[in-house]
């Protein structure tokens, strides 16, 4: 593979634009363009950054080495598989798919061709910058709240796969344990999609997580409380501050680090490093993304069972 990678984005929505700007600014990568079923939208994203708008997926794939899939979630797996079939490394925005079976196909196809698959759970970058991924003690409990106002974005999936999957991934990242039960209750939006969900998940280590998400709130609010045997960490993600009563040293200036200042950029850069062989893995692997998806689907099933 050439030293300079050609990067392209599938999907010309908000996150497609974010990813296109990353490829346009990062060293060692040239932004090739955007594929979208609406060529005018692709042009609005691609052309200001010096890229092309593609209306044909095969033509797009021939023009890139690495691909970000930032289309609606229901298309993630199919488009990732198309990119892999064309021999391209893939960064898939979360969730990696909307069914475990299709996500496993993505993982298997990439492994068969020796290609990198990364997933966009970039909250991991913030946890790493804080030092939470290095705490040498297993947590007892995690309580997360992630609320935001109504939006037309991501209406193809529930608030579980849109919002809660982030906190599910963080639970799995800090707890060396497997989930065993999930209970949930929620509120549907006018289109029948679950828009507000509260779930409680128990793990085989005794760890438990209470996850509260909403797309019906008046304002954005994101907080988390992690309880350890030796103390607690309370995080306000909006203020980018935390309170720590554990004996473990966390970085109070994490918000000023380059990675936490631009988690998406750090996540994409980690993907590119894995592609070049400069890192052993991306920040979030296909295995980890599938584990988060599996638990998210279990929460959705608990919602349906309780309805």
Q: How many residues are given for the chain?
A: 307
| CA distance linking residue 83 with residue 8, whole number of Å | 11
| CA distance linking residue 16 with residue 268, whole number of Å | 13
> What is residue 1's predicted lDDT score, i.e. its pLDDT?
45
Closest CA to 49 of 69, 68, 21, 29: 21
pLDDT, one tens digit per residue, over 17-62 is 999 999 999 999 999 999 999 999 999 999 999 999 999 999 999 9
> What is residue 122's predicted lDDT score, i.e. its pLDDT?
92
Q: Which residues of the chain have pLDDT under 50?
A: 1
> What is residue 153's predicted lDDT score, i.e. its pLDDT?
81
pLDDT, one tens digit per residue, over 150-190 is 988 888 999 999 999 999 999 999 998 999 999 999 999 98
Which residue's structure tokens are 């930032």? 70
* Ordered domains of the chain (ranges, CATH): 5-120+264-283 (3.40.50.720), 123-255+292-306 (3.30.360.10)
> What is residue 307's predicted lDDT score, i.e. its pLDDT?
81
Which residue's structure tokens are 């990119």? 83
| CA distance linking residue 23 with residue 49, whole number of Å | 9
């Amino acid at each position: 593979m050439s030293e300079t990678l050609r990067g392209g984005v599938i999907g010309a929505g908000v996150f497609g634009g974010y990813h296109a700007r990353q490829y346009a600014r990062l060293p060692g990568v040239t932004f090739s363009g955007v594929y979208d079923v609406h060529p005018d939208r692709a042009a609005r994203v691609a052309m200001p950054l010096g890229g092309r708008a593609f209306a044909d997926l095969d033509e797009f794939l021939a023009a890139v080495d690495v691909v970000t899939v930032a289309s609606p979630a229901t298309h993630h797996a199919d488009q990732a598989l198309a990119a892999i079939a064309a021999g391209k490394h893939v960064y898939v925005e979360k969730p990696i798919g909307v069914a475990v079976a299709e996500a496993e196909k993505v993982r298997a196809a990439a492994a068969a061709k020796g290609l990198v698959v990364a997933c966009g759970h970039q909250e991991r970058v913030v946890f790493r910058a804080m030092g939470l991924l290095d705490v040498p003690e297993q947590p007892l409990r995690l309580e997360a709240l992630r609320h935001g106002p109504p939006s037309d974005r991501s209406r193809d999936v529930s608030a579980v796969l849109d919002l809660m999957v982030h906190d599910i991934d963080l639970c799995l990242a800090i707890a060396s344990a497997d989930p065993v039960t999930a209970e949930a209750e929620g509120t549907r939006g006018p289109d029948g999609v679950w828009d507000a969900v509260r779930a409680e998940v128990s793990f085989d280590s005794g760890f438990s997580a209470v996850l509260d998400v909403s797309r019906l709130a008046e304002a954005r609010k994101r907080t988390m409380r992690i309880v350890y045997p030796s103390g607690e960490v309370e995080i306000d993600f909006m203020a980018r501050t935390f309170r720590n009563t554990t004996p473990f040293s966390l970085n109070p200036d994490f918000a000023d680090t380059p990675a936490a200042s631009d988690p998406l950029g750090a996540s994409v850069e980690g993907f590119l490093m894995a592609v070049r062989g400069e890192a052993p893995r991306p920040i979030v692997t296909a295995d980890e993304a599938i584990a988060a998806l599996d638990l998210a689907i279990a929460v959705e099933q608990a919602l349906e069972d309780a309805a």
